[in-house]
Every structure is written in structure tokens, then in C-alpha cells.
A and B are shown apart, each in its own frame.
Chain A
Amino acid sequence: MAKVIVTDREGADHELNGQSGWSLMEIIREANLPIEAACGGCCACATCHVYVDAAWVDKLAAPESDESMMLDEAFQVQDNSRLSCQVKFTDALDGLKVTLAPEF
């Protein structure tokens, strides 16, 4: 199965099974990693914020304007910031690396 590597807030790496068709947030939440995702993936809370590894940024579909607007409410946003609920995982993303953004 395709893999996703998620670095948690303590810096530890976790290798997760990436279910094709799920959102990245769902994959992270299903693995019980600490992601709040308060709105359950509706692009309404910005609590599923992750940083995408530089090598992967361009391989993801660009964010829609909804997502950019919601990112305005996140903190410590960087050029590689994404809301993980808006990133759809596919087998083509095997090996995708992301880091959980700080919680607040």
C-alpha cells in the first residue's frame, strides 16, 4: 500500500498506510496522530494544518481559494502549508512527507 510519512510535533516520524481516495487528514486521524480537525474535513477550521515536504509541494494539486482563505486563520503559515483535509491522497503520492503544524 502507498505510504505517507508524517512527522509529529515532537519530531518523530510515522509511516502510515495511505488509503487512496481518503484525504490526508483522514489518514492522519485514523492513525491516531494528534490532529484536531475540528470541522471534520469541511475546510472550516484550519486545525488540520500541515507542512508539506519541499520535494512534494508541487506534486499536490494547488489549493483552492477556500483553502487559502481558511489558512488565513491558521498560525505560522508557510509557503508549504496545506490544510490536510483538502489534500486527496492517491497512490501516485506514495512516499508523501508532511509535518504536523503547531497546535493552537
Chain B
Amino acid sequence: MGEVGARLVIETDMVIIGAGPVGLFTVFEAGLLGLRCHLVDNLDKVGGQCAELYPEKPIYDIPAIPSCTGQELVDNLMRQAEPFGPQFHLGQQAEKLVRLEDGRFELTTSEGQVFRAPVVVVAAGAGSFVPRKLPLPGADAFEGTSLFYAVRRMETFRGRDLIVAGGGDSALDWALNLHPLAKSLTLVHRRDEFRAAPDSVQKMRELVASGAMKLVIGQITGLEGEGPMLSAVAIKDAAGEVVSLPANALLAFYGLKMELGPLASWGLGLERNLIKVETEAFETSEPGIFAIGDIITYPGKLKLILSGFHEAALMCQKAFKYCHPDEKLVFRYTTSSTDLHKKLGVA
């Protein structure tokens, strides 16, 4: 598995948008039919909702697995997909989808990666995971110049008076990584308890004790400054007093939310932000573009992982025909087929 060098055009059988549980299982079902997959996900890790929202919570309704955590399910799906060598393109959003003259599709990501494939599978869940933004009037004006929700380049923060807001791993990790670069760094958090890994918290506490980092307990209530340049951040402290903390950069971590994003404009026949599909092959209104998992709707649809798995299996049957129009697909069991054993690497 590896990241392929950016800006190369990748030709493959299937491009899967979304590496959630349903996208991951599609790799397996496609693999049994000899189809190769590339997957794109906005998150910097695989597993979709299971990995991002409830990695440590138990799931009880996966057939034949009485109980496993979200992350265990993802790890097992990765193991199951491994023989088929899926290629992951993480931390990027599928942005543009067009049909080429030869009938295939061309998909471009936010990082400029281009794919060409006869089949596109939208396994996009409730949409891309994107950072939650500060719901403060005028915040937009600062975004990208002095207000950030993620770190693209650490250099952006060199020599700046930086405030990092949040109490989880992202906030703590970046506070620790950026404090040597920044002119000053203040961590702002609602309460004096942190969700982040204990050793990050300890490192932070040591830096605060030595004066190398400041810690303010409070909540951001306003941004001050002209146009794109922030000059100070208003913070309501634990006692309810509002203080103005001078800063020219703010890095805010308020968790992630799911947002439909670019696929809303791909003309896929949406109904209340869900893609309508037929239930024989889970194809969208656009032949060759399939959709499965939480992103779809059809009469009786249940947003469950097991439904997504079923949809993946059926969808691959039809996808095969687009990839190999002249070949006949023979139905086989993994138990007994030597051909499938070879593909699985167990022969």
C-alpha cells in the first residue's frame, strides 16, 4: 500500500470515494472479481465514522462478530482487503468528476491527483469529514491568513503570536510542535482537563510551568482585527470575565463534522442530501457511477454497516461488466474456488 506520487494520472478499475467501512469492504468484493481499487478520503486515516467517531465503542450487530470496537472492525476490514493491495489517497477530497470521451470517468482530488476508471463508487457516508469552524461573526475574513483549522505548513506559524484552541490530541500535538517556531504560544481550553494523550498533557504542563507556553482556561467569544489580520482574541475566562489576548494567528480545533461537499454538484440525483439508487446494483442515475453505504437512499434503506456490505457485494457484480464487457462472470464461493483462493493468496 502506498501513496502514489501526486499529479500522476492513475488508471484503475475502480475509484472509491470514501474509505469508511463500506468503501473498505468494497475492495474485498471487487478483489474477488479481479478488480483493482484506489480509494480517496478526506480524513488522514481509513475507517470513516467507525475510526473517527467511535473507535473505542463496541458494535454488536456485525453478523457473526458478537462484539468489536469501531477500530477493531476497521483493522479487520483492512486485513481482509490486504490481499488485493488497495491504494489509499488520504487527506484529500474528491472534487471533480467528469466523463471522458471513451466513456470512462476522470476524478480529480483537492491535491491534484487524477484518476481514470470505468467505474466510480461513491461510498461517502454522510460526506467528508471537515473541521468545525468558529461560529463567530466575521470569522471568515480571517480564515487562511490568521485563522486556521488545520496545519498545512508549519512555517506559516513561524514568528507569530499564536493561540491554539482545544483540549484534544490535535490541539495538544500542534501546540507542542509549533511552540518552538512561534514567537509566543497560548493554549486556550474550556477547562483544566484535557482529553489528549497523557504524555502530551504532561509535556504541555512542563512547558507552561517553565514559562515557554501559556495556558488560559476559557472560551473564545470574539475575534479582533482588521480584515484578514487578527490582532487579538476575546476570551471569556472561568470567572466569566472577558479578556482580550493579543495574537496574530489562531489555530482552532473544535472537532470534525460531516459535510456533503463537492459531490452535491455532480448531478447524481440527490434526495435530502442522499443519492437515490436502484437496489439491483446500487447504480446512480449516471451509468458507471455506483453509490453504497450511508450516502444512499432507497425504499427500506437502513444506515447500518451490514447493509453497506450487502450493497458492496451486489454493486461489484455490475461494476465487473463495465470493467470487462466481454467476459462472463462466474459465481463462486470463497470456500471452494481455487481461483478465489489464488486471488486471496491462500492457494
Q: Which residues of A contact B (CB under 8 A)?
A: 38-39, 42, 44-47, 68-69, 71-77, 102-104
As a 0/1 sequence over residues 275 to 316 of chain B, the CB contacts with chain A under 8 angstroms (1 = contact) are 000000000000000000000000000000000000000000
* Complex interface: chain B residues within 8 A of A103 (CB): 135
* Complex interface: chain A residues within 8 A of B343 (CB): none
Q: Write the nearest CB–CB distance from B51 to chain A, whole angstroms.
A: 12
Q: Which residues of B contact A (CB under 8 A)?
A: 53-54, 57, 126, 132-135, 166-168, 189-191, 193, 195, 219, 221, 254-255, 257-258
* Complex interface: chain A residues within 8 A of B254 (CB): 73-75, 104
Given A73-B255, A75-B254: A42 and B57 interface contact (C-beta under 8 Å) = yes
- Which label, helix, strand, loop or mixed, suits the secondary structure of the B interface? loop
In-complex Cβ contact of A73 among B57, B132, B134, B221 (8 A) = B132
Question: Total number of A-B contacts with CB less than 8 angstroms?
Answer: 50
In-complex Cβ contact of A44 among B53, B166, B190, B191 (8 A) = B53
14 residue pairs from A and B, CB less than 8 Å apart: A38-B257, A38-B258, A42-B53, A44-B53, A69-B193, A72-B189, A72-B191, A73-B166, A73-B254, A75-B134, A76-B219, A76-B221, A104-B132, A104-B134
In-complex Cβ contact of A75 among B126, B135, B191, B258 (8 A) = B135
* Complex interface: chain B residues within 8 A of A47 (CB): 257
Determine if A73 and B168 form an interchain contact, defined as CB atoms under 8 angstroms apart: yes
Determine if B195 and A69 form an interchain contact, defined as CB atoms under 8 angstroms apart: yes
Q: Which of A38, A46, A68, A73 has the most chain B CB atoms inside 10 A of its CB?
A: A73
| Minimum-distance CB pairs A-B, first 5 | A104-B135, A73-B255, A44-B53, A69-B195, A72-B167
Q: Write the nearest CB–CB distance from B332 to chain A, whole angstroms.
A: 37
Given A38-B258, A46-B255, A104-B135: A72 and B168 interface contact (C-beta under 8 Å) = yes
Closest-by-CB residue of A relative to B132 is A104
Q: Write the nearest CB–CB distance from B177 to chain A, whole angstroms.
A: 20
Complexed CA–CA distance, A24 and B254 (Å)? 23
Determine if B257 and A72 form an interchain contact, defined as CB atoms under 8 angstroms apart: no
Q: Write the nearest CB–CB distance from A65 to chain B, whole angstroms.
A: 8
* Complex interface: chain A residues within 8 A of B132 (CB): 73, 104
* Complex interface: chain A residues within 8 A of B219 (CB): 75-77
* Complex interface: chain A residues within 8 A of B166 (CB): 72-73
* Complex interface: chain A residues within 8 A of B193 (CB): 68-69
Complexed CA–CA distance, A44 and B166 (Å)? 16
* Complex interface: chain B residues within 8 A of A71 (CB): 190
Closest-by-CB residue of A relative to B136 is A75
Q: Which of A38, A44, A69, A75 has the most chain B CB atoms inside 10 A of its CB?
A: A75
* Complex interface: chain B residues within 8 A of A76 (CB): 135, 219, 221
Complexed CA–CA distance, A104 and B257 (Å)? 9
* Complex interface: chain B residues within 8 A of A38 (CB): 126, 257-258
In-complex Cβ contact of B53 among A39, A69, A104 (8 A) = A39
